[in-house]
Amino acid sequence: MTSPEGFSRGVIDVGVDLREGYADVGGATLHYVEAGDGPLVVLLHGFPEFWYGWRLQIAPLVQAGLRVVAPDLRGYNLSSGPEDFAEYTADKLAADIHGLIRERGAESALVVGHDWGGSVAWTLAMLHPDAVDRLVILNAAHPRRLNEGLRNPRQLERSWYFFYFQPMNEPERHARRDDWKFFKRFLRDARPPYTEQELAHYVEAWSQPTAVTSMINYYRAAVRLGSKQEIRPVSAPTLVIWGERDRYLGRKLAEPHHEDVPNLDRVERLPNASHWVHHDEAEHVNELLVGFLTPAGAGQRNR
């Protein structure tokens, strides 16, 4: 695999020094960046991002006393990507993160996930409950809620790209055209808009040799294979943060069923944020994360 030397140090400045490495987690080799010391928090990005999607969260979490690990999910950016779309089911993606937590020397972690990273986080918390101390979900529906939502014609319309990505090869060709215009359009609702420099980092990540097919394979696996694991209650205390201007997920999908998430702290709705809530309202999101994930933050919240 091409060395990432200089890719995430110096070229990408997130406000703190980053350590980076690779973790062999069995089914894949995950590239990650790491910063800080203290309790471990794992940040899981969504489509079409990579670890860089958390650039505005890493420093505040480190300054709050946490050790941040932000991986590239299986197949994204510098992480390895199996060719077979069947290798991208939610249980295998969750097993990657379970392995990453262990590889980084911990038995459990605070886990934060957005979009596909949120789906992985939900599955990790269901299948490996001892590995998740606290869970934060940003604009990612609980699996039961998503399955219910997809029975609604309006949500099916919102989720059109799940089905657009099903043919082999043509979606990849479309994605690469016109300097990745198609993938960039998924980010268009962000306010403030992504800068040219930020988009250049995304283009570099999308341009890694196997990345585009791996990214699309998440959707092929979801539609063709569905969810094979049993839905189990999430025991970890859970916070849901939801940008209400989400183009892709309806507002009703924010609320998980009580029996599925009995320790739900709350659903925090941000009315002016898009699907890219951690970008749009980074300061607010960071306050919520620190308040929920750290003892000091919890103490301030409860005053």
Active site residues: 115, 219, 275
**Contact of 70 with 140, CB cutoff 8 Å:** no
Determine the Cα–Cα distance for residues 145 and 166; give it in Å rounded to an integer. 22
**Contact of 22 with 38, CB cutoff 8 Å:** no
Determine the Cα–Cα distance for residues 224 and 110; give it in Å rounded to an integer. 31
Q: Where would I find the H helices in 112-229?
A: 116-127, 143-149, 153-158, 160-164, 170-185, 196-206, 211-225
In sequence order, what are the beta bridge partners of 113? 44, 137
Determine the Cα–Cα distance for residues 112 and 286; give it in Å rounded to an integer. 12
Q: Measured between alpha carbons, how far is residue 205 from residues 4, 7, 139, 213, 286 in Å?
A: 11, 10, 22, 12, 25
